[in-house]
Structure 1
Amino acid sequence: MVSDIWQFLALLQYELLLFAGVFFLMGAIDDFAVDLAWLWLKLTGRARTAKVDRSQLQSKTLDGRAAVFIPAWQEAEVISDTIRHLLGVWPQDTLRLYIGVYRNDPATLKAAMRAAQGDVRLRLVVHDRDGPSTKADCLNRLYEAMSDDERRSSSRFSYVLFHDAEDMVDPAGLGLLDWAISDGADFAQLPVEPLPQASRDWLGSHYCEEFAEAHGKAMVVRSAVGAALPAAGVGCAMARGALEKLAAESSEGVPFDPASLTEDYELGLAIAEQGGRCRFVRARGEDDRLIATRAFFPSKLSEIVRQKTRWVHGIALQGWDRTGWSGGAAETWMRARDRRGPLTALVLALGYFLLALTLIISVASAFGMTPPMVVSPLMFTLITANLCFFIWRIVWRFLFTARNYGVAEGIFAIVRLPMTNIIAIMAGRRAILAYWRTFFGRGIVWDKTAHSRHPAKPSLSHEQPVQRQIHVPAARYRRNRQAVPRQARR
């Protein structure tokens, strides 16, 4: 009887090892293909990060009127800092900031009013319904307010920027996006750079390595192969005409579907399907610091899982229904990568279960309770290939993280990897359950995370790690600056 149990466990171990090994290898080859594509772009000079003059971009006269949309629900802790910082570092008088608040959220409204300080560029828009609805619904309300302002003033905005209530915008970001739109882009996206956090909040820093690779490599490759660029929802700009075209295609006359959990992701895809031109704009200042949108991401496990549940649910599951598989081979490849989250969670869960099972069987084998596992040549090859790809992945994660945040954070990126996998498993499980409940009529609400810290506050010690900058010699800066189109350096 006991021997039968061990035989069953040995058989289960072998089958799980084969299943997990094959799917791990498929995912590794997929990532490896992106790595090779990025290396080729880098070697041919097509993945070069431009060098720009920050001060010139910050004071650049805009080529048109710009509107900034920030939807806010229960953001009293950070909205004041966001408004003050944004209006302070973007001094252009042709800019208008629209803050969307809800009528049943007086704390956020009061905080936003406190930050106004008489700046006529700020427009507070109170939603005519109780919150939370969805972020897309709040954005639609801001779009309607902007359209009303255009009709009253008989003047149209040239483009719209999108940000979140906790963002710290880059002083050079507006000028760079203005150049991209005026240069013919219908949609432009800046990188997002999560800020490393204090040791007690080390879990929240795992976003650093994820975005370092996603916006330092994957988005670059995606743009190069001609696939649609998903919007990050922050640090992105959209031409007014393209936004109006999206609204015209909607039965409600608004550009965003209130039922969408990831309206930002769908935004870039929708522009590409219209035939619009999308650009991922990546540049560094003379201080070698990336021009990007920065923020403190969630650091509590429950909040991280909630946020990533929404991403997996909206992109991988809801996105399958909403955006389908239109486009050529490159587009299909990238959408498949976007939607592999639930499968990745399943394979990771099986991998950890397999690890525990292997440990149990190994201990039993050491005590003579069961014969040791015999690994076939095929299985040995599969395990070896996965191990090599795993080492390769660790090296890439370290390099991209260390490039933006320093060697110490690059090492932490490796240390955090097991916990990052566990988060992916938890978020994948919750996303599948949430998606399943929608079949039974459960409504979609804005399942957002709370924000209590803003990087623009100088008193925050969390900001200190970001201040470590790499000195770039002036001669090197002058050489690299030639890679930027002249219009961006005005």
Structure 2
Amino acid sequence: MPLPGIEAVILGVDAVAREAMLFAAIGFLIGGIDDLAVDLVFLWSRLRKSLKPAPRRAPVRDGGRLAIFVPAWDESAVIGQMLRTALARYDYADYRLYVGVYPNDPATLAVAGAVAAEDARVRIVINERPGGTTKADCLNAVWRALMRDEAVEGPVRAIVLHDAEDVVHPDELGVIAAWLADHQAVQIPVLPLPDPRSPLIAGHYLDEFAEAHAKNLAVREALGAALPFAGVGCAIDRALLGQIAEARGGLPFDESSLTEDYELGLTVAAMGGRTKLARHRDADGRLVAVRGYFPSALPAAVRQKARWMTGIALAGWDRTGWAHKGSIGEHWMRMRDRRATLAIPVLAIAYLALIAWGASLAVHLAAGSLLPEPEGAVRWLLAANGALLGWRVAMRALFTGRAYGAVEALLSIPRLFVANLVALLAARRAIAIYLPTLRGQRPVWEKTAHHFPDSEESEPA
């Protein structure tokens, strides 16, 4: 029998553990059903494509001149290798790399300028403002330079977006040009490179992008919902981007946004443009995709995820709202984009429940009493969540395995906990970033340090 003085403690701890568990379990059930519905739509769309496969579209080598925008703030460590690799790899007839730099970043200017001196296909654009501003501001400076060039040389076919650390594929521009024949925008997949220095922190990006760019974007496409851009490996028809610029006072990229790439994809759809998710394999069977290293340290990953969370789930909700007369699929996908605002509190309370159950177990052991077991509907709720979690783990491992192999597929299981930790820490930082914007403060380009691969040994198939 427990001592009289400890009974109140036992009741209190049990109550906290029970209520926290119930709240988290209901939240997990809603999220699990949402994820399962996406998986079912994906399987349905794959079945339809297998019954009526679309004709394969081969890359073209001459589909009009393409302008590739590369914003670069404090990127002296990678910009030279990125530009030289792109120039050596691209199998396309007519393109130009526009590199946006800043007057107060002489290191990046010197490295990029050295490449431009070697190859006329590289054009250096120095921003009038000192850095760092926003990425959109840098892109707008490049846009103004492009318009000056077009006044002399004529208009380009489309604008392609890249970052300074990207490893490009030789067929990328050819695939993009082929789909631009009847689409206004194209997004090719993004595949993070496995980083042996950080199998967990950097590795969790492998899992997220493998699933997002093989399944989630494909589901959006199947539902007819807008496809947000990844900011790299995406191309926009020049005429449509010009229309967007006119609607925004002359500049196509919104300088007040932390995720201008995400919003630009929604804007393309709102203006009637069709976006294609182009998944194409080259002659060797490798996926035509943008590759690159992602943050390998926890603080850098948290900063990056916080920017995404602020721009998409918090400020993005204010800025983009819901699609006017949008379909159910469109509203569903936008809600999924913003579900972090609901999922993070649920996740936090779930961890609180684990701590509370641990405390409950300790108190019951000390008192010599039995730990209460879930009963009735709660037991069924936990069983359903267990099944949905098993399915979610299997699906993530499946997509990671398809992109990176069996070892990374197995690592994707413990990386679920890493992803949750990064998300929890990023949520706190995102709120700190978001609140000042409500008072009119302009966002700042809070970038992370990058590095470029020395060889192709770590590139996935």
Report the TM-score, using the length of structure 1 for normalisation.
Answer: 0.89
Q: Counterparts of 1:300-319 in structure 2 under 5 Å? A: 300-319=297-316
Deviations, residues 86-111 of structure 1 (Å, cap 9, x unaligned): 11112544201100000100000011
Equivalent in the alignment of 1:480 = none
Equivalent in the alignment of 1:76 = 76
Work out whether 1:225 is the aligned partner of 2:229.
Answer: no
Deviations, residues 175-203 of structure 1 (Å, cap 9, x unaligned): 00000112x11111000000111144542
Where does structure 2 lack aligned partners over 5 or more consecutive residues?
none
> Amino acid of the residue matched to residue 29 of structure 1?
I
Equivalent in the alignment of 1:276 = 273
Q: Flag the 1:39–1:3 CA change in 2: closer, same or farther, 3 A.
A: same
Q: Counterparts of 1:19-418 in structure 2 under 5 Å? A: 19-45=23-49, 57=59, 60-153=60-153, 155-182=154-181, 184-200=182-198, 202-251=200-249, 253-326=250-323, 327-368=326-367, 371-418=370-417
Deviation at 1:209? Answer: 0.6
Give the Cα separation in 2 of the matches to 1:116 and 1:52. 36
Deviation at 1:50? Answer: 8.3
Report the TM-score, using the length of structure 2 for normalisation.
Answer: 0.95
> Amino acid of the residue matched to residue 40 of structure 1?
W
> Amino acid of the residue matched to residue 204 of structure 1?
A
Deviations, residues 210-230 of structure 1 (Å, cap 9, x unaligned): 001000101001001000000
Deviations, residues 235-275 of structure 1 (Å, cap 9, x unaligned): 00000011001001013x10111000000001110010001
Q: Flag the 1:205–1:243 CA change in 2: closer, same or farther, 3 A.
A: same
Q: Flag the 1:426–1:246 CA change in 2: closer, same or farther, 3 A.
A: same
Deviation at 1:72? Answer: 0.5
Give the Cα separation in 1 of the matches to 2:369 and 2:351. 22
Give the Cα separation in 2 of the matches to 1:219 and 1:351. 29
**Secondary structure of the residue that 1:270 maps to in structure 2?**
helix
**Secondary structure of the residue that 1:67 maps to in structure 2?**
strand
> Amino acid of the residue matched to residue 402 of structure 1?
G
Q: Flag the 1:401–1:433 CA change in 2: closer, same or farther, 3 A.
A: same
Work out whether 1:450 is the aligned partner of 2:449.
Answer: yes
Deviations, residues 441-490 of structure 1 (Å, cap 9, x unaligned): 43310011111x212x22xxxx53436x5xxxxxxxxxxxxxxxxxxxxx
> Amino acid of the residue matched to residue 279 of structure 1?
K
Q: Contact 2:6 / 2:367 at 8 angstroms: preserved in 1?
A: no
Deviations, residues 413-456 of structure 1 (Å, cap 9, x unaligned): 112111111111111121122212323443310011111x212x
Give the Cα separation in 2 of the matches to 1:362 and 1:33. 36
> Amino acid of the residue matched to residue 418 of structure 2?
M
> Amino acid of the residue matched to residue 43 of structure 2?
L
**Secondary structure of the residue that 1:68 maps to in structure 2?**
strand
Q: Flag the 1:47–1:198 CA change in 2: closer, same or farther, 3 A.
A: farther
How high is the sequence identity, in percent, across the aligned residues?
43
Give the Cα separation in 2 of the matches to 1:161 and 1:299. 27
> Amino acid of the residue matched to residue 333 of structure 2?
M
Deviations, residues 117-162 of structure 1 (Å, cap 9, x unaligned): 5211110000011101100111111111001100122x10110000
Deviation at 1:5? Answer: 2.3
Give the Cα separation in 1 of the matches to 2:53 and 2:342. 33
Give the Cα separation in 2 of the matches to 1:180 and 1:368. 69
Q: CA RMSD in A?
A: 1.9
Give the Cα separation in 2 of the matches to 1:395 and 1:167. 30
Deviation at 1:2? Answer: 3.0
Where does structure 1 lack aligned partners over 5 or more consecutive residues?
470-490
Give the Cα separation in 2 of the matches to 1:208 and 1:48. 31
Deviation at 1:114? Answer: 2.1
**Secondary structure of the residue that 2:180 maps to in structure 1?**
helix
Equivalent in the alignment of 1:482 = none
Work out whether 1:466 is the aligned partner of 2:459.
Answer: yes
> Amino acid of the residue matched to residue 257 of structure 1?
D
Q: Flag the 1:109–1:89 CA change in 2: closer, same or farther, 3 A.
A: same
